């Protein structure tokens, strides 16, 4: 059992390495900026969904308020840069730390809540954040923050036309989020979480340590999400409360993991690779009709996938593997 | 704004009326959750459909919302049952991640419904003009009470009363209650679980239908109108305690009052913060809401 | 996704991607991108806009006898009669999506110019992308004053912005005061997105500098389920003039709630948006007799300039609605852009930009009450005189400024 587990983990690592290497080569052949843009978004959502999956999938604390951390990351970076000239790289770190601290402060009272009470608590906390930013004049309030375009530079992480730097950053972020998840699966925390899932009574005896591990998961998840937010601010170079902290964003972060397979290593990646191009393409090529057809197609697919593959699309792969093993 | 007795009373009165309506919108959600632990993320879109139904009955057949309310409720009853049979039935059967599957299958449904509404009804803003009660208002000692909301509040109270009677005093109500407690055992005594659930969804949707008909008297209608009410409905239900019909009633009143009074203290653009803060305070003290039963 | 071989080949040399893309476009047709919200909460605006742009394209591509640029003759004469083709894209009110769509239109659809966007937040990102690709952008109907002050070279706005609109309102108040009306206090009522925030900031500044007292400045959450508390505060303040900056949804709810709470404002002078939409007057028009809204268009111009009525008729056959403040600005946005392309005799971004800078279109050649279309160094047309319109007897009449007015203002409103 242990050997197969270790084997599987080693194989996962090798597969991930190969995929990342292949992904890194893709932009050398695909030069269309529109397609590159979709690839950047796909990687970004893969990273975000992977981070979300740590808290909500593995740890079982379903959060629909991760837009809060995403927005905090984006705002910290943009505010530090436009108001104080602090380079976005420090903003990224700062935003991540702030978000992690806030996630722990919020986790303390919230982790006592169960099921939908927890979910709704995360939603309303993010909404409170959104409303506060909407009314905070110093942070631009509704006007948002327009990050001025200067010349291309890695220092300010700004590139006028090229998507490649953003692509590689997003790829790196997705890889880091994946590696953190991979590492957590085999850590003490990972074992506790599985134990709690398999046997809720074990939660009682493990009470304190499990609680602490949840706080840890919240902090890691929030940190990575905030880095994603910082990235988004640099990538789009304009942020406003609605577009970085809106409820829709929380759902968009959860969707890839849910469709791909919640609480699985590969689910968020798979989900993002399918969902994000689908969203973008339906909007671009049927959205222009103005009749809502893109919404109908997109919504129908969500319903069908979640009904037909409740364990997520990764189920398709594991089933085949099982078949092959037999 | 000067805090005179009059403004405070007006705020409380308006908040109470709005709160009863929030309660009526939310109770269908509470009922469905209590029955089968499912949260319908398309609840706001059910409301939207009900408002459109009221609008079209008015526009094409000149049926006043007051008269069409039962028709709309009946139509939504059928709609709710069909949604259960076509989608939710399969979602609850999911072996893995049942909670997430429910959330996202109903969420996907919400998107489809918005798209369909835009496709068939166009994104134009509609309103029911010149209904019998629309725009009428009564004034008691300087406090103004709009008639549509007043009627809505009365309907809400009546609906809660009827629902209470229905659940506790009728055979079907007992079947609902029994199925909710132990779906496996009721199958042994010959109750078809799916039928009970479908009827439960129908009933929940019919209650949304009722509130939609009332809302149509004073609110604008467009494909995304449900979004404004959906979050309030979830918070209302959770505040009162999931599964508790009385909780939804109390939750609605509290939300309405808190919203109205927050606007007296904070800038109105922050009035929802009051609702959210009260929700958090309540669940931090009572993790199952005010009247949560589980 | 269509990764055609041509795209791949083009991309094979890195420099190819850096060439001005428009230069490669064919000139038998001129492709112009149009970015609007075509789904989501403000889809209605986008769908109406589509009709306005199609009307404009029709005028350009077919032969009409109007004094409007490009109406006579088919297509763009400067480009050998090339036809204008529009490509619509949906930004769903999301700045990131607007940005991605602008990039797609430029690189895949090879548009040589872009017109948009309704939401100011989206105009920020779309104009940024246009700047990066050196493609001219016309902000047809965004009224946020901050947009043209960002030092962008490819940004143009033929229509007035909120400061011009609000200044017109205060000019109007000053004029009324001279005639002996009492206007001392104002109530501002505005939604919390860019539009409302910008509008109220401007109005606060103007009120302070011209000596009006703002007795209530109420910011509310857009698409609120209830505006009771907000209206109560307006009622308590009971200013001489109520100045709402609201979109259609909130506008309808505001008017209904005011009636329900027994508040009859002495006067309403609205910052357009919802208050120029047919849907609002269909819903609550009976309560709005005498309401004044700023605008940049008025159908009563048709009496002086018959083509306004004729073009409005064309739009109405497509959309079932009359031109309003938005659709008319959208229409003019495309005409101004196409006129520049025609004079540039090229689809090259830089050449079109030069032609836009050289634009000098007399007001009579537009469907608007503007003096003329001429851009300043920031790309703003300062000669787009806004008008104030009063809603009486089921339609709008121009009441200010004097040279455009067809009727005296009814003040106070009924």
Domain membership of residue C371 as a residue range: 9-160+302-383
Same domain, C249 and C394: yes
pLDDT higher than 80, residue A150: no
User: Could you tell me if C32 and C337 are in contact, meaning their C-beta atoms sit under 8 angstroms apart?
Assistant: yes
Residues 29 through 68 of chain C touching chain A, CB cutoff 8 Å: 38-39, 43, 46-47, 50
pLDDT band at residue A322 under the 50/70/90 scheme:
very low
Q: How far apart are CA B126 and CA B221, in angstroms?
A: 5
Q: Name the closest residue on chain C to residue A28, using Cα atoms.
A: C12
Segment B167-176 shows an average pLDDT of 79
Residues 208 through 227 of chain C touching chain A, CB cutoff 8 Å: 219, 221
Same domain, C50 and C105: yes
The string of DSSP codes covering C347-396 is --HHHHHHHHHT--EEGGGSSSS-SEE-B-TTSBBTT---EEEEEETTEE
Domain boundaries, chain A: 2-325
pLDDT higher than 70, residue B222: yes
Which residue of A146, A251, A273, A280 to mutate against C (max C Cβ within 10 Å)?
Answer: A146
**To which residue do tokens 């455009």 refer?**
C404
Q: Name the closest residue on chain A to residue B280, using Cα atoms.
A: A121
Q: Name the closest residue on chain B to residue A264, using Cα atoms.
A: B97
Q: How far apart are CA C249 and CA B154, in angstroms?
A: 26
Same domain, C328 and C252: no
Amino acid A321: pLDDT: 47
Distance from CA of A279 to the nearest CA of B (A): 12
Q: Is residue C411 part of a domain?
A: no
Amino acid C17: pLDDT: 40
Segment A221-250 shows an average pLDDT of 92
CA angle centred on A286, ends A283 and A288, rounded to 5°: 80
Give the tens place of pLDDT for each residue, A274-301: 889 988 888 888 766 667 787 888 889 8
Q: Residues, chain A, total?
A: 326
Same domain, C133 and C168: no
Residues 326 through 385 of chain C touching chain A, CB cutoff 8 Å: none
Q: Is residue C18 part of a domain?
A: yes
Which residue of A142, A241, A306 to mutate against B (max B Cβ within 10 Å)?
Answer: A306
Residue C44 has its nearest CB partner, among B124, B129, B232, at B124
User: Could you tell me if C368 and C297 are in contact, meaning their C-beta atoms sit under 8 angstroms apart?
Assistant: yes
Q: How far apart are CA A36 and CA A46, in angstroms?
A: 15
**To which residue do tokens 């939750």 refer?**
B251
Chain centre to alpha carbon of residue A17: 20
Chains touching C (at least 3 CB pairs under 8 A) are A, B
Which domain CATH number covers C344? 3.40.50.2300
Say if the Cβ atoms of A124 and B235 lie within 8 Å.
yes
User: Could you tell me if C217 and C204 are in contact, meaning their C-beta atoms sit under 8 angstroms apart?
Assistant: yes
Q: Name the closest residue on chain B to residue C320, using Cα atoms.
A: B124
Distance from CA of C333 to the nearest CA of A (A): 19
Amino acid A42: pLDDT: 96
pLDDT tens digits, chain C, 414 residues: what are they?
A: 344 444 444 343 433 344 444 444 445 899 999 999 988 778 888 999 999 999 999 999 999 999 899 999 899 999 989 999 999 999 988 899 999 999 999 999 999 999 989 988 899 999 999 999 999 999 999 988 888 988 899 999 999 998 999 999 999 999 999 998 999 999 999 998 888 888 999 999 999 999 999 999 999 998 888 898 899 999 999 999 999 999 889 999 999 999 988 899 999 999 888 898 888 998 888 889 999 998 888 888 888 899 999 999 999 999 998 998 899 999 999 999 999 999 999 999 999 999 999 999 999 999 998 999 999 999 999 999 899 999 998 888 999 888 888 888 998 887
C90 touches chain A (CB under 8 A): yes
Burial of B285 from C-beta contacts in 10 A (0-12 / 13-18 / 19+):
exposed
Give the tens place of pLDDT for each residue, C13-44: 433 344 444 444 445 899 999 999 988 778 88
CB atoms inside a 10 Å sphere around CB C12? 12
Same domain, C198 and C98: no
Same domain, C62 and C86: yes
Chain centre to alpha carbon of residue B14: 18
Same domain, C48 and C60: yes
Q: Is residue C328 part of a domain?
A: yes
Name C31's bridge partners: C85
Give the tens place of pLDDT for each residue, C271-321: 888 898 888 998 888 889 999 998 888 888 888 899 999 999 999 999 998
Same domain, C335 and C393: no
Give the tens place of pLDDT for each residue, B241-252: 887 888 899 999
Same domain, C314 and C393: no
Q: Which H/E stretch holds residue B142?
A: none
Which residue of C42, C120, C121 to mutate against A (max A Cβ within 10 Å)?
Answer: C121
Whole-prediction pTM value?
0.89
Query: C34 in helix, strand or coil?
Result: strand
Q: How far apart are CA B105 and CA B258, in angstroms?
A: 32
Q: Which H/E stretch holds residue C36?
A: strand C29-36
Q: How far apart are CA B118 and CA C133, in angstroms?
A: 34
Residues 212 through 251 of chain C touching chain B, CB cutoff 8 Å: 216, 218-221, 223-226, 228-230, 232-233, 236-237, 248-249
User: Could you tell me if B278 and B239 are in contact, meaning their C-beta atoms sit under 8 angstroms apart?
Assistant: yes
User: Could you tell me if B124 and B118 are in contact, meaning their C-beta atoms sit under 8 angstroms apart?
Assistant: no
Tell me, what's the ipTM?
Answer: 0.89
Distance from CA of B94 to the nearest CA of A (A): 6
Segment A56-67 shows an average pLDDT of 89
Say if the Cβ atoms of A232 and C96 lie within 8 Å.
yes
Distances (CA, A) of C295 to B90, C216, C241, C277, C314: 53, 24, 18, 11, 21
Same domain, C128 and C203: no
B242 touches chain A (CB under 8 A): yes
Q: Is residue C414 part of a domain?
A: no
Amino acid B142: pLDDT: 81
User: Could you tell me if A89 and A33 are in contact, meaning their C-beta atoms sit under 8 angstroms apart?
Assistant: no
Average pLDDT for chain A:
87
Amino acid A289: pLDDT: 67
Q: How far apart are CA C27 and CA C243, in angstroms?
A: 48
For residue C277, the chain B residues in CB contact (below 8 A) are 125
User: Could you tell me if C361 and C339 are in contact, meaning their C-beta atoms sit under 8 angstroms apart?
Assistant: yes
Say if the Cβ atoms of A121 and B279 lie within 8 Å.
yes
Residue A147: DSSP 8-state: P
B126 φ, ψ to 5°?
A: -115, 160
**To which residue do tokens 């604390």 refer?**
A61
As for how many domains chain C has, the answer is 2
For residue C282, the chain B residues in CB contact (below 8 A) are 127, 129
Q: How far apart are CA C214 and CA C76, in angstroms?
A: 51
Amino acid A325: pLDDT: 38
Strand order in C395-400's β-sheet?
C269-270, C292-295, C387-392, C395-400
Fold that domain A2-325 belongs to in CATH: ABC transporter involved in vitamin B12 uptake, BtuC (1.10.3470)
C-alpha torsion sign, points A310, A311, A313, A318: negative
pLDDT band at residue A234 under the 50/70/90 scheme:
very high
Say if the Cβ atoms of C103 and A37 lie within 8 Å.
yes
Q: How far apart are CA A166 and CA A176, in angstroms?
A: 15
Amino acid A290: pLDDT: 62
Which residue of C3, C8, C11 to mutate against A (max A Cβ within 10 Å)?
Answer: C11
Residues 222 through 281 of chain B touching chain C, CB cutoff 8 Å: 222-224, 227-229, 232, 259-260, 263-264, 267-269, 271-272
For residue B227, the chain C residues in CB contact (below 8 A) are 41, 223
């Amino acid at each position: 059992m242990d050997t197969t587990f270790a084997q599987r983990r080693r194989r996962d690592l090798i597969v991930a390495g190969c995929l990342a290497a292949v992904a890194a080569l893709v932009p050398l052949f695909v030069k269309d900026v529109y397609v590159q843009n979709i690839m950047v978004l796909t990687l970004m959502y893969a990273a975000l969904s992977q981070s979300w999956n740590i808290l909500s999938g593995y740890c079982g604390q379903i959060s629909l308020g991760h837009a809060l951390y995403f927005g905090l990351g984006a705002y910290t970076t943009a505010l530090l840069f436009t108001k104080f000239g602090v380079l976005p790289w420090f903003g990224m770190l700062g935003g991540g730390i702030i978000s992690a601290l806030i996630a722990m402060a919020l986790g303390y009272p919230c982790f006592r809540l169960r099921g939908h009470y927890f979910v709704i608590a995360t939603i309303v906390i993010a909404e409170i954040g959104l409303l506060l930013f909407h009314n905070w004049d110093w942070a631009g309030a509704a006007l948002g923050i327009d990050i001025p375009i200067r010349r291309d530079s890695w220092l300010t992480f700004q590139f006028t036309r090229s998507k490649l730097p953003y692509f590689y950053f997003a790829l790196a972020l997705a890889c880091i989020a994946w590696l953190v998840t991979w590492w957590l699966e085999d850590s003490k925390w990972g074992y506790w979480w599985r134990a709690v899932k398999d046997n809720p009574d074990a939660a009682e005896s493990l009470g304190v340590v499990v609680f602490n591990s949840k706080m840890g998961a919240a902090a890691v998840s929030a940190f990575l999400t905030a880095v994603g937010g910082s990235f988004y601010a640099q990538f789009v170079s304009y942020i406003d409360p609605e577009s970085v902290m809106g409820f829709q964003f929380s759902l968009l972060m959860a969707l890839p993991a849910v469709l791909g397979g919640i609480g699985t290593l590969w689910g968020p990646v798979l989900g993002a690779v399918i969902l994000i191009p689908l969203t973008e393409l339906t909007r671009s090529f049927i959205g222009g009709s103005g009749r809502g057809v893109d919404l109908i197609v997109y919504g129908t697919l969500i319903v069908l996938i979640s009904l037909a593959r409740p364990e997520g699309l990764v189920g398709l792969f594991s089933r085949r593997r099982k078949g092959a093993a037999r | 704004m000067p805090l005179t007795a009059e403004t405070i009373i007006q705020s409380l009165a308006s908040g109470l009326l709005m709160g009863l309506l929030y309660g009526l919108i939310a109770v269908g959600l509470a009922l469905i959750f209590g029955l089968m632990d499912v949260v319908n993320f398309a609840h706001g879109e059910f409301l939207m459909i009900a408002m459109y139904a009221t609008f079209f009955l008015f526009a094409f057949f000149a049926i006043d919302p007051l008269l069409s309310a039962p028709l709309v409720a009946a139509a939504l009853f059928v709609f709710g049952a069909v949604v259960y049979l076509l989608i939710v039935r399969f979602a609850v059967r999911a072996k893995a991640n049942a909670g997430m599957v429910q959330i996202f299958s109903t969420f996907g449904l919400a998107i489809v419904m918005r798209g369909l509404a835009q496709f068939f009804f166009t994104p134009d803003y509609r309103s029911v003009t010149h209904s019998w009660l629309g725009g009428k208002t009564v004034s008691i000692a300087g406090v103004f009470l709009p008639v549509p909301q007043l009627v809505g509040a009365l309907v809400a109270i009546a609906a809660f009363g009827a629902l209470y009677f229905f659940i506790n005093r009728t055979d079907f109500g007992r079947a609902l209650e029994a199925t909710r407690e132990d779906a496996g055992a009721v199958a042994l005594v010959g109750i078809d679980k799916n039928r009970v659930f479908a009827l439960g969804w129908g009933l929940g949707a019919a209650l949304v239908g009722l509130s939609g008909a009332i809302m149509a008297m004073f609110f604008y209608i467009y494909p995304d109108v449900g979004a404004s009410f959906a979050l309030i409905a979830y918070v209302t239900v959770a505040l009162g305690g999931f599964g508790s019909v009385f909780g939804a009633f109390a939750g609605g009143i509290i939300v309405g009052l808190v919203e109205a009074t927050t606007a007296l203290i904070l800038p109105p653009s922050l009035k929802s913060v009051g609702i959210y803060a009260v929700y958090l305070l309540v669940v931090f003290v009572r993790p199952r809401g005010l009247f949560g039963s589980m | 996704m269509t990764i055609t071989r041509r795209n791949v080949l083009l991309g094979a040399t890195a420099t190819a991607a850096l060439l001005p893309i428009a230069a490669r476009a064919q000139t038998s047709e001129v492709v112009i991108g149009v970015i609007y919200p075509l789904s989501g909460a403000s889809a209605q605006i986008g769908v109406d806009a589509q009709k306005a742009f199609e009307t404009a394209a029709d005028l350009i591509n077919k032969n009409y006898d109007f004094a409007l640029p490009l109406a006579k003759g088919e297509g763009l004469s400067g480009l050998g009669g090339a036809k204008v083709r529009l490509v619509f894209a949906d930004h769903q009110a999301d700045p990131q999506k607007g940005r991605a769509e602008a990039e797609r239109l430029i690189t895949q659809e090879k548009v040589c110019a872009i017109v948009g966007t309704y939401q100011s937040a989206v105009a920020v990102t779309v104009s940024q992308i246009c700047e990066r690709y050196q493609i001219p952008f016309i902000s047809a109907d965004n009224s946020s004053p901050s947009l043209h002050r960002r030092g962008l070279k490819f940004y143009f706005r033929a229509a007035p912005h909120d400061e011009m609109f609000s200044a017109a309102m205060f000019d109007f108040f000053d004029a009324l005061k001279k005639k002996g009306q009492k206007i001392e206090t104002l109530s501002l009522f505005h939604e919390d997105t860019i539009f409302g925030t910008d509008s109220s900031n401007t109005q606060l500044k103007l009120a302070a500098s011209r000596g009006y007292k703002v007795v209530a400045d109420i910011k509310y959450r857009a698409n609120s389920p209830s505006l009771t508390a907000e209206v109560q505060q307006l009622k308590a303040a009971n200013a001489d003039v109520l100045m709402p900056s609201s979109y259609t949804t909130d506008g309808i709810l505001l008017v209904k709630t005011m009636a329900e709470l027994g508040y009859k404002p002495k006067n309403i002078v609205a910052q357009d948006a919802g208050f120029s939409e047919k849907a609002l007057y269909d819903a609550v028009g009976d309560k709005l007799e005498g309401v004044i809204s700023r605008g940049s268009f008025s159908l009563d111009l048709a009496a002086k300039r018959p083509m306004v009525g004729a073009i409005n008729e064309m739009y109405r056959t497509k959309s079932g609605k009359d031109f309003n403040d938005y659709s008319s600005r959208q229409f003019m946005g495309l005409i101004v852009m196409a006129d520049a392309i025609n004079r540039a005799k090229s689809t090259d971004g830089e050449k079109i930009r030069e032609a836009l800078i050289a634009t000098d279109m007399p007001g009579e050649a537009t469907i608007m009450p503007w003096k003329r279309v001429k851009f300043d160094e920031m790309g703003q047309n300062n000669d787009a005189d806004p008008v104030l319109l009063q809603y009486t007897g089921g339609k709008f009449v121009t009441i200010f400024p004097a040279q455009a007015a067809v009727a005296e203002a009814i003040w106070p409103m009924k």
